[in-house]
Amino acid sequence: MEPADDQPASITPSRLSTIRRRKSADNKFGTCAPGGQCELHFEAAIFDLDGVITKTAAVHSMAWKRMFDDYLQIRAARHHEPFNEFAHAPDYLAYVDGRPRYDGVEAFLKSRGINLPLGTPEDLPGGETVCGLGNRKNALFNQIIEREGVSLFDSTIALIRELRQRRIKVGLATSSNNSAVILDKTGTTHFFATVVDGIEAAKLRLKGKPEPDIFATATANLGVPSARAIVVEDAASGVQAGARGGFALVIGVARENNARELRDHGADVVVRDLAETSLEQIDRLVQAKRASV
């Protein structure tokens, strides 16, 4: 894991050492069967998809850039203004990453002083509405993954396998509308006892990240209270949602050299990759956070 400054600020090394020695007051959690594995102090883990499980965050960024740059060039020519391209760090990460698609379109356009009608999800890709631009981005994304395929983060898959072996319920919560396609392409559908994605969120009228609705719905589907579930996210809006939802632990995965941003938005611990941590370390941090409240 990253140095101690990435641990929850209220959890000092001495306190963590004390917690490690404490016997859990909960008879169900933290106990060890004779000759067997210890029970963990949480019951469920909810994972984001893009950038946590799959190496598709870069594909999303590429599709967003192409869509927005095409549209911004059209506007620049129409209004005789300079073209100001869509950039990864100031634009994608700030306004789009982790958010529901149409929310991302609207947030970015407003940052440029552009107001478009919302339209409807049935708008043709590329139409001059929020939904039309969002649909164009989605079409570009699907073209790329159809052509190039989808890769997985092996360390995340290893952790999911271990969680399932320890009888921890695993769910997926993502703003993406493409989760079924991605899971099918990667052969990972069977890992998740519940999937709450953009399509399900729209049906249930759930608020998108940074609100905790999709994470809370996933834990409810698993029959687990949020306080007994951990969240694994790579987007600032996602860790913010986890922090607002009162989860047992929020793990930020800093794929974008954005560890500080993830901490500032509510991650309890930040790693560059899940290979930097272990199930036992995660469990100790859950205990430590619970004891510090």
Residues with active-site annotation = 48, 50
Please give the single-letter amino acid code of residue 128. Answer: E
Contact 103, 26 (CB under 8 A): no
Give the DSSP letter of residue 91.
I
The overall longest dimension of the chain from CA atoms, in Å, is 76
